Structure 1
Amino acid sequence: MTDMSLRLPTTRFRAVFALGTRRAASLPLPTTLGAPNLFAEWDDETEQSTLYVGFGTGQIHLDTAPTGIEHHFHDLSGDDTDVSPWNGDDTRQLLDWSSALLSDFHQLVPDLLDDVDDAAAWHDAGLTLWVCEVEEPTQLDLIEVDIEGELLTLPWLGAGHVEHDHVEESAHGALDHGVDDDREHPIALLWTAAADGTPDSPIAEAWLRPGTEQPVTRAVPGVDWAAVGMPADEVLSWLEGIYLNHHVLPDPAGTILTGVLERLGGIDGTD
């Protein structure tokens, strides 16, 4: 198992955004549900925004659409449902707040996401403060977040070079259908012996068991590990660290975006 003590320290980062009118911040959020987990994304092809609002008792997902905002729920087990997991009053308040938050977010993208990536790049450069560019006096919003440090990993030390890519999720999702565990977010480690070639030979896989944040790894049968230049157990240990950094531990941009969403929604503790 990867030694989680080999992580860079958590750092406090401040970013200043121009978020405009925050309509969701003026609306009540049901206190009985607890603090929500927020995530939003923008599809530049469809120009559609999506917001995910999760609690320990269920989730609501919202999408922008030509006719307005569409939504559906997820129950405690994560299954889609048209029936709210919460009572009527809480559902109405949550839907009003979430719809306003998605509208606020949608009006700011895609420029907002460019700013988030820019701020994350400043953090990666070792800076502790990023400020957006404005052309005239305007109300600005300060976001303060704690960004977790990455796990320290070595570069690839085997022969050739490698890349990792997502593979299709299924109950028996391994390449040879030989894995019995359900898998979430599976990736394959692809390898090539050629220094200038494109990695296309799967040599190992990693995934999460549902409901956990601990990666599971396996070596693909039939690999010539002598040609790979590293024994299978060392490759799997290396892949576990890569998986944690890229698919489990929060990345700076995601952490900053969460801070922005909490500020837009008025739940960052500063209103």
Structure 2
Amino acid sequence: MTDFSLRLPSTRFRAVLNLGEKRAASIALPPRFSKPELFADWDDDEATSAIYVAFDDGQLHLECRGSDVAYHFHRGEDEASDTSPWPAADTAVLVEWGTTLALGFHELMPDLMDEIEEAGAWHDAGYSIYVCETEPAQLDLLEVEVEGELLTLPWLGAGHVDNEHIDGDNHPIALLWTPGTDEPDQPIAEAWLDPTTEHPVTRALPGVDWDAVGLPADEVQSWLEGIYLNHHVIPDAQSALLAAVLERMAGVDGVDAS
């Protein structure tokens, strides 16, 4: 079991970024949508961006390519649907706000994502503030708390390991292993997030030669639990800053957009 008392201290990090006009922040959302969980992604190869808006009772997903925005809804773990989980009037405002946010975010791609990544690297290097390079503009100061990671040992088994996302519910990952120095490619364990406890669950895969791995299955599972928490649950500086950027652009962080 992971020891939650063994963790690095949390830190405060500030970044100065140019977020543009923040048009979505001028749209007043219905009270039921006052606290969205926001995430965004950018596909450099396809030149598309995506915005994910989650609430306890449903989700709105938007994809932007140029000036075109497509969207769909989810109710829990249900498949994508054109039918909203919410009343029509509230949905209309939500879609207008989400579309405006998606377009505004897309206009800043890929430079904004590059700056967020660079800011995260500055935090990891020990700096407390990042300032973007820009022409004179109305800039935004964002401050985030970066939760300290759990202290975990390096891989103490034989060979090398890596982890990757796999298909399935509740954000599963596979722990990949190789006995030598090649790229790890043999799955030996899996981890996913229990939606009730919000804590990782792990399992060792059958047919693994644990003597060759160099650690017993239970130790591998315990180690994987810590890795899952650090890299897939606890937000790093880059993830925390991206969330703060989206909240500022969306007008849901409590700061006056004007």
TM-score by length of 1: 0.88
Where does residue 265 of structure 1 map in the other structure? 250
Q: Which residue of 1 aligns with 2:165?
A: 166
| 8 Å CA contact retained: 1:58, 1:78 | no
Please show how residues 18-97 of structure 1 align to structure 2 within 5 Å. Answer: 18-65=18-65, 68-97=68-97
Aligned with 2:232 (options 241, 247, 253): 247
2:74 is matched by which residue type in structure 1? Answer: H
In structure 2, C-alpha distance between the alignment counterparts of 1:145 and 1:66, rounded to whole Å = 30
Amino acid at match of 1:83: T
Contact in 1 for aligned 2:48/2:66 (Cα 8 Å): no
Could you tell me how far apart the structure 2 residues matched to 1:21 and 1:256 are? 18
CA contact (8 A) 1:34 1:55 kept: no
Q: Which runs of 5+ in 1 are unaligned?
A: 170-182
Do the aligned partners of residues 126 and 78 (structure 1) sit closer, same or farther apart at CA in structure 2, a change above 3 Å counting? farther
Deviation at 1:11, TM superposition (A): 1.5
For structure 1, which segment, 10-19 or 57-66, has the greater mean C-alpha deviation from structure 2 after superposition? 57-66
Could you say which residue in structure 2 is the equivalent of 1:219?
Answer: 204
1:123-150 superposed Cα distances (whole Å, 9 cap, x missing partner): 111221111011x321101111111111
Deviations along 1:78-124, whole A, 9 cap, x unmatched? 44222222222211211111111111100001100000001111111
Contact 1:189 1:204 in 2 (8 A): yes
Query: SS at the partner of 2:171?
Result: strand
Q: What displacement does 1:190 show?
A: 2.1
| CA shift for structure 1 position 19 | 1.2
Give the aligned residue type for 1:250. P
What residue ranges of structure 2 are gaps of 5+ in the alignment? none
Q: CA 1:8–1:132 in structure 2 vs 1: closer, same or farther (change >3 Å)?
A: same
Does 1:7 pair with 2:7? Answer: yes
Instruction: Kindly tell me the number of residue pairs found equivalent between the two proteins.
Output: 256
Q: How does 1:135-214 map to 2 (within 5 A)?
A: 136-169=135-168, 183-194=169-180, 196-214=181-199
Identity of counterpart residues, as a percentage? 59
Contact persistence 2:159–2:213 (CA under 8 A): yes
Find the counterpart in structure 2 of residue 176 from structure 1: none
TM-score (norm 2): 0.92
User: RMSD of aligned C-alpha atoms?
Assistant: 1.8
**Please, which moves more after superposition, 70-79 or 142-151?**
70-79
Inter-CA distance 13–220: structure 2 relative to 1 (3 Å threshold): same
| Map 1:93-104 → 2, pairs under 5 A | 93-104=93-104
Q: Given residue 251 of structure 1, which amino acid in structure 2 is its aligned partner? A: D
| Bigger mean CA deviation after superposition, 73-82 or 91-100 | 73-82
Deviations 1:139-175 (A, max 9, x none): 1011111111111111011122222223333xxxxxx
User: How far off is 1:242 after superposition?
Assistant: 0.8
Judge which range, 148-157 or 64-73, deviates more: 64-73
